[in-house]
Structure 1
Amino acid sequence: MNRFLIIEDNKLMAEVLSQIIRKCISPKEIIKVSNIASAQKLIIDSSYKIDAIFLDLNIEKPLDGLDLLSYIKRTLPNMPVSIITSENETEVVKKVLSHQPNDYLIKPLSVQKVQRSLAKFKANSGTVETGS
């Protein structure tokens, strides 16, 4: 996997995630967007050839990332997606997992959590290469 899309409205959190990904592997590119419209535009534009997505569950308002996850799963059903959130209430987790993301990362993020997502992405595609 070479191109990751981070959909996160908190610029600091997006940068932290970007740095953690770079620590785990050597991606060719990490694209960061802070709103749903920009994310949908990138997803539609096939020239970006995104390999995996990290999606904030509450990108612009509570749980609106769930609608975007549904959109991604309809548009690109094989796209690996990890949800990023501070939501850990059982009902919210069940609702999100019913949309079948590849992983559910609860903030604060850590190298171990991101490595777990990357391993799940690799299990689905077989192309993530770990760095040193």
Structure 2
Amino acid sequence: MLDIPTPVVNYILSFLIEARSLAYLLVKKDGCLLAWGGKLAAYGITNLCKGENIGEQIFFLEGLLPLDDAYLFLPLIKIEHGICIDIHIFSSQEGDWVLLLDSTRDENYLSPIQQKTNDHSLLQEKLTKIKNQ
């Protein structure tokens, strides 16, 4: 493990919790919600019920769990309320952890770049068609 100074770890934790609205869920291997915390309300997630199936409570997790001792990273997922999130899912002895981090800022940065790329591709196709006629 890296030898990371405590002030650096504290900064990273504060950044993730505040700037990225860190939220977490712990789901047993049978799909039932065991624990949760963090800034779930920032993602419109409220009224969770311990012991109930997670896929019935949070629609975008349906079919993703349980994991087979692997990890899953889903970047820039658009959920309800127009929020864009990064979803990290990994296994532990307790069950599967689901971490949610706000990635709206990343999306706002990348969207115009992607749009320019798409526009360029369309223009290339038009030019190719004109050239071939």
TM-score norm. by structure 1 comes to 0.27
Query: Greater strand share, 1 or 2?
Result: 2
User: Which structure's residues are more often helix, by fraction?
Assistant: 1
Q: Which has the greater radius of gyration? A: 2
TM-score normalised by length of structure 2? 0.27
